[in-house]
A and B are shown apart, each in its own frame.
Chain A
Amino acid sequence: AQSVTQLDSQVPVFEEAPVELRCNYSSSVSVYLFWYVQYPNQGLQLLLKYLSGSTLVKGINGFEAEFNKSQTSFHLRKPSVHISDTAEYFCAVSVNAGGTSYGKLTFGQGTILTVHP
């Protein structure tokens, strides 16, 4: 079974500063990796995903993440955050079973990013 650990439950940061949200995963098979964002009182929106190929993945709103297989990590980064980036961020994995997936996502506990002016 796979598991996901988000290393920080809360990350406060000043506006225009860089941010990194950390995610580590554990799995005995290869995985697909995702980052979702949840704005206050809203549903989940996909930020970016790693399926294969380049380990640096670019997503929406200026976010990017790097897949590091040796360290089993998929950290999310943004070089300069805005007030509007304040939200909860979830890292998730699904099993890559021979190039297909069975629709199950395993989520981390979430990281609340608070951007201060």
Chain B
Amino acid sequence: EAQVTQNPRYLITVTGKKLTVTCSQNMNHEYMSWYRQDPGLGLRQIYYSMNVEVTDKGDVPEGYKVSRKEKRNFPLILESPSPNQTSLYFCASSFRSGTGRETQYFGPGTRLLVL
């Protein structure tokens, strides 16, 4: 089954304790992205990756890091989480055809609470 998986699905942590949210896709997609969802703000892109070892900042990258060492995985790293990073996080991947007709597939989400 084609899917995007995220782990953990729920996480409560404390300020300053480094954490990693994993994302994996089994569709051989080139593109992967991380978004955060906050009430009234919709989804905002944190980082995206066009391919292995190619990453770039989205609209709200501060406080986050990513890496893309393998095509299927795109972990999101919070080196020193703060309460304003409490949010619902979504990973997404997409296929880029020769005509650019892409659809983004979203993971189930990770709900993070930083105390």
A residues with a Cβ closer than 8 A to B are: 4, 6, 9, 32, 34, 36, 42-46, 49, 51, 90, 92, 94, 96-97, 99-110
Contact = CB atoms under 8 A, between A and B. Distances in A.
A50 to B, nearest CB: 11
A49 B103 contact: yes
Contacts of A49: 103
Given A43-B107, A46-B104, A92-B43, 14 more contacts: A43-B106, A51-B101, A90-B42, A90-B43, A94-B102, A100-B96, A101-B100, A102-B48, A103-B48, A104-B33, A105-B33, A106-B59, A108-B42, A110-B42
Contacts of A51: 100-101
9 contacts: A42-B109, A43-B108, A49-B103, A51-B101, A104-B45, A105-B104, A106-B59, A109-B40, A109-B42
Interface residues of B, number: 30
Interface of B: 30-33, 35, 40-45, 48-50, 58-59, 90, 92, 94, 96, 99-104, 106-109
B31 A103 contact: yes
B38 to A, nearest CB: 10
B40 A42 contact: no
Contacts of A102: 48, 50
With most chain B CB atoms within 10 A of its CB, the pick from A36, A92, A109 is A109
